[in-house]
Amino acid sequence: MATIDQYQILRDLGSGAFSQVKLGKHIETGDLVALKIIKDDDSQNGNTAETFKTEIEIMSDINHPNIINMLSSTDDGTLKEANGDVKENVFYLALELASGGELFDFIAQSGSFSEPVARFYFHQMMDAFEYLHSKGISHRDMKPDNIMLDNEFNLKIADFGFSSKTASNQSFKGTRSYMAPEILIGGEYHGQMVDIFAAGIILFIMVTQIPPFQMAHPKDGWYKFVCSNRMDKFWKYHGQNQPGGIEFFSKSFIDLINWLFNFDHTTRPSLSEIKEHEWYNGPVATKDEITEEFTKRQAMLDQCSDDAVPETDVPQEVYDSKSVHRDIKGNVEDSSNLPVLHRKEAEYIACLGSFTKFFSESPLEELFATIAQFAITKSSDYEFSASEYSIIMNIADESEQRVKLQINIMSAGENKHCIEAVKLAGDRFQFNDIYKEIKGFFGGHINTTA
């Protein structure tokens, strides 16, 4: 098994523009952590290392219950690959593990939140903001991908790679769909204002399950209503996607969102104004109600399928020609003298939450053929792992937007397997749509639960 310093590397947790995130287990204490390992091979140089350094500097100064805290960091790690290769000077952070999974996968798979549940999470987010802003820190990449859960369903803000300690900023950082208009238009902006704008988008998604606009730019089909003071139209159209139309939204919700989305950042609410707002002070779900809600929805997601088992017909050449070895940083390795089809089933780790997984008692090879069948039907850009029952696929939608995802089949007990999807790149909503398709494709193979 691969190791990095005192951690065993158990599996992939996710991936971002600059990093591979792995599940690590401390060799002595057995504690589980997230290891964020720099992607760039030349980790001592370049922008990526700079980004990592800022992240470390800011995270060293942070400790809050609704933020993923950093445990340690080094640019001098020793990585030992499973095949015996050793790499020195590896740059990585050990982070507190967010073991409850991704909040937005949960919403995408199980439905939007009632306002009291959304308020519970919005309060936690504002608590974290208050803490960060009191230290002069802005996050600058608030978006669904960077909001995770701990094992008690509390919100945890992740990814301080773009964070800043200066009030006034100019660099074009963040993710377009969650950027405030002043960044999109160019020029100087205030990092903390931009966080509050993104928090408005996140709140909107929690309550509706869909984004409010594609981009906060005056030319955007939806955001133009904000700029032209036609919020009545904005809500009328968004109401059409909800049961009961516009009545679905409470008056105070509409009022707060309108305020948060203001084009002019000087008229947007401050943190203290948000905390005084009527919507903020409405009924909040209790811890017990949150637990009950999650348990109920998880049971719904775990339901076995009544559909037929899909037929598969994947020629052997497909596996042979598309099977590759990858190292821990995700680079393809020369596998010319390695046996291609010598796979081992990875172990499912029960304490790790994820809302994009299901279970099966069907034979392993049949499950692997099913995912291969899905891949060849949906994409021409995919590869099989040569060492595990795992596949990486690139899938594009009609507008050529790409999502990169990994599907792992893991052993979850005798004759039982867990099939899990992990997003590697692209849009979180699109990833969730593809996961739903995969789940549908497996049909009758979904015949047991955890």
User: Which member of 12, 141, 195, 427 is catalytic?
Assistant: 141
DSSP 270-294: PHHHHHHSTTTTS----HHHHHHHH
**Residue located via tokens 């504002």:** 126
**Residue located via tokens 């909107």:** 204
- Does position 16 interact with Mg ion (CB under 5 A)? The reply is yes
12 vs 159 by CB, closer to Mg ion: 159
- Does position 198 interact with ligand ADP (CB under 6 A)? The reply is no
Strand 402-411 and strand 346-347: pairing?
parallel
Which residues ranging from 318 to 357 are in contact with ligand ADP (CB under 6 A)? Answer: none
Instruction: Count residues binding ligand ADP (CB under 6 A).
Output: 21
- Output the smallest distance, CB 105 to ligand ADP, in A: 9
Query: Nearest 5°: phi and psi at 113?
Result: -95, 150
DSSP 311-361: P----HHHHHHTEEEE-TTSPEEP-TTS-SS--BPEEP-TTS--SSEEEE-
**Residue 2 marked in a binding site:** no
- Does position 161 interact with ligand ADP (CB under 6 A)? The reply is yes
Which residues ranging from 140 to 169 are in contact with Mg ion (CB under 5 A)? Answer: 159
100 vs 181 by CB, closer to ligand ADP: 100
**Residue 97 marked in a binding site:** yes
Instruction: Count residues binding Mg ion (CB under 5 A).
Output: 2
- Does position 157 interact with ligand ADP (CB under 6 A)? The reply is no
Quote the CA–CA distance of 378 and 82 in Å, as a whole number: 32
- Output the smallest distance, CB 327 to ligand ADP, in A: 17
- Region from 140-148, 225-233, 237-245, 399-407 binding ligand ADP, contact rule CB under 6 A: 140-148
Quote the CA–CA distance of 153 and 308 in Å, as a whole number: 34
* 22 half-sphere exposure, CB direction, 13 A CA radius: 23
The yes-or-no answer on residue 306 being catalytic is: no
* Local structure of 408: helix, strand or coil: strand
Enumerate the known binding-site residues. 36, 96-98, 159
Residues marked active site are found at 141
Site of interaction with ligand ADP (CB under 6 A):
13-19, 21, 34, 36, 68, 95-98, 145-146, 148, 158-159, 161
Site of interaction with Mg ion (CB under 5 A):
16, 159
